[in-house]
C-alpha cells in the first residue's frame, strides 16, 4: 500500500498493519513486535526517505513461518546504516530497535530512485488460517501516483543482518 511520507503516513502504516495482522490471530507478542517494526521502518521512510510528492510503500508478507515487512521509499541514494546514537540524543535509535526486534533485517537499493528496508520475524505458521502466506494488505494506489516496483522477494545473504 502506498502512503504519504509524513508522520501521519507513518502512523497510518502502523495502524493498518496492526489491523491486518490481527486477522491472522498472531500471538500478541508477535503482533506487538511487528507493529513496532512497521512503526520504525515507516517513520524512517517519512523522515529520511521523504521526497516531496512521492509516497512510501508498505508490504507485509508471510511465508513458511516468516513475516516480512518491507518499506520502499524514493531515496535510494541514502541506504540506512545503524549508528550508535549519542547518549543524550532524542532520536536516532530506530535501526537499533529494528536490529533488536527483528530476526533479520537489511536494506537494498531498488530500481532508481528507490530503496527497500526490510525486517523479518520468525513465526509459527497457523495452518488453520486461510490467509497465511498471502500478502496482508490489498493494493491501494492514490490518484496521480505511480506504484513503486516490487522489491525482490529475498535479499542477498551478504546484505542481511541477523541475530539470534
- pLDDT higher than 50, residue 79: yes
**Structure pTM?**
0.69
Per residue in 23-74, pLDDT (tens digit) is 987 888 899 999 999 999 999 988 876 677 678 999 999 887 899 999 999 8
Q: Residue 45: is it exposed, middle or buried by C-beta count within 10 angstroms (0-12/13-18/19+)?
A: buried
Domain 2-162 belongs to what topology? Heat Shock Protein 90 (3.30.565)
Per residue in 81-129, pLDDT (tens digit) is 666 666 765 555 678 889 999 999 999 998 888 899 999 999 864 444 4
So what's the pLDDT on residue 100? 93
Domain spans of the chain? 2-162
So what's the pLDDT on residue 65? 86
Instruction: Name the phi and psi angles at 56, rounded to 5.
Output: -115, 155
Amino acid at each position: 500500500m502506498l502512503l504519504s511520507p509524513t508522520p501521519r503516513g507513518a502512523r497510518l502504516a502502523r495502524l493498518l498493519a496492526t489491523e491486518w495482522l490481527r486477522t491472522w490471530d498472531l500471538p500478541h507478542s508477535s503482533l506487538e513486535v511487528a507493529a513496532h517494526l512497521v512503526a520504525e521502518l515507516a517513520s524512517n521512510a517519512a523522515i529520511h526517505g521523504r521526497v516531496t510528492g512521492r509516497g512510501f510503500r508498505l508490504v507485509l508478507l508471510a511465508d513458511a513461518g516468516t513475516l516480512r515487512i518491507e518499506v520502499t521509499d524514493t531515496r535510494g541514494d541514502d541506504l540506512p546504516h545503524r549508528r550508535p546514537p549519542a547518549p543524550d540524543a532524542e532520536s536516532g535509535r530506530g535501526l537499533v530497535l529494528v536490529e533488536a526486534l527483528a530476526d533479520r533485517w537489511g536494506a537494498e537499493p531498488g530500481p532508481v530512485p528507490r530503496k527497500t528496508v526490510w525486517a523479518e520475524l520468525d513465526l509459527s505458521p497457523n495452518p488453520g488460517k486461510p490467509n497465511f502466506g498471502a500478502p496482508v494488505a490489498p493494493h491501494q494506489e492514490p490518484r496521480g501516483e505511480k506504484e513503486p516496483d516490487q522489491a525482490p522477494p529475498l535479499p542477498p545473504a551478504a546484505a542481511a543482518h541477523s541475530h539470534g
